[in-house]
Structure 1
């Protein structure tokens, strides 16, 4: 499959996969993964700004983003106690 896509790309036909349901599904998953990474990066930044360099910064950020991203952004912005964030 990869060889076929590479061959098509060399011939200027690299948009063919984008027009298939498989291609659209791959693109959708990539957008979702990028969005999740962006949310986690933002949460790391907010946690660091509000709580400093805590030991479990990365893990906590991913945990908060995975459960209720918007609510947890508000909590971090409101500087709720770290114990509350960690108990999520």
Structure 2
């Protein structure tokens, strides 16, 4: 089972999980001009602490890097993801 399918099952039907590369690309970086990034395999638009907790537990169990993201307005590359990452938009 793919990570995307398993994560979706773990989060339940009410979770907003985005995997469309055209959309995930916009969540892949902040405004740092020098930092490397790639679209993540998924973006969770978090709605609750419970949803975040489930996503973090899943990521931990599956060794998936997690990037938390606010507005993406930083300048240090702290919100940049790679292709194996799960981005949690807060």
What TM-score, normalized to structure 2?
0.28
So what's the TM-score if we normalise by structure 1? 0.29
When Rg is computed on C-alpha atoms for both structures, the one with the higher figure is 1
Higher normalized contact order (CA 8 Å, seq sep 6+, divided by chain length): 2
The structure where helix makes up a greater share of residues is 1
